[in-house]
Amino acid sequence: MREIVFDTETTGLSPLAGDRVVEIGCVELINHVPTGRSFHAYINPERSMPEEAFRIHGLSEAFLADKPVFAEIAPQFRAFVDQAADGSDDPARLVAHNGTFDMAFLNAEFARQKMQRLGDDRLVDTLILARTKFPGAPASLDALCRRFGVDTAARVKHGALLDSELLAEVYLYLIGGRQPDLALGVAAGSARTDVPAGDPQAPARPVRPARPHAPSARELAAWQAFVGTLSQPLWLDEAADGPAS
């Protein structure tokens, strides 16, 4: 199973109001294990940067002026997120915190390029997972990092790639642990780890032959020799007396 944990930074809160994506960061998981593959891009939004947004992510108009526009990075980005896992025809699942926000911005950018939108059915929203698992508790990325002991020392400002890396750690805790399937590798063709216990579609596991429990002749002889050293074994007395009435 291939998953892409991703985050975006933007010029504001509404793509319908003309706000644009200025940074995308993604990290790849295979069977819930980080592979080390990532995608990262700064993007020229072709518009001004509001002060409120700059205070959050620190990406200025001057810094972004020589960066590629979205149309230039879109094909490479789609190739990364749409790739299926080996042996699968389904594109990777997309994991994001408050993911409807990020998906709305990305799909607005794709609409400008007349490219296919990202399907909402691919989204795993960790904000929803956190609120379901810890109802009433703070569910921001910072709060979840504190809950799970994820180190945020490098997070001075929001950054799409760093936030994706932090979210990947948080996500693994939310779904049951750092390495819930105890997978030690990500080789193609390995058994599925996304099937719940008891699922009739779960892969058949190899049956280990029963170990022999009868003593060998050598072990039996050693036991009899040991018993001969005992003055009065209790079980032999009980056998001689017969069952208690």
Decide if 158 is catalytic.
yes
CA 179 to chain centre: 9
What is the C-alpha separation between 121 and 49, in angstroms, rounded? 32
CA dihedral 68, 71, 76, 79 (to 10 degrees): 160
Q: Degrees (nearest 5) of the Cα angle 125, 126, 127?
A: 90
Give Cβ neighbours of residue 65 (< 8 Å, ≥ 6 apart): 44
Nearest to 167 by CA among 30, 55, 57, 25: 25
Q: Cβ–Cβ contacts within 10 Å for residue 26, how many?
A: 26
Tokens 């998953």 locate to 3
Question: Among residues 40, 57, 158, 213, which one is catalytic?
Answer: 158
Q: Residue 242 burial by CB count (10 A; 0-12/13-18/19+): exposed, middle or buried?
A: exposed
Write out the catalytic residue numbers. Answer: 158
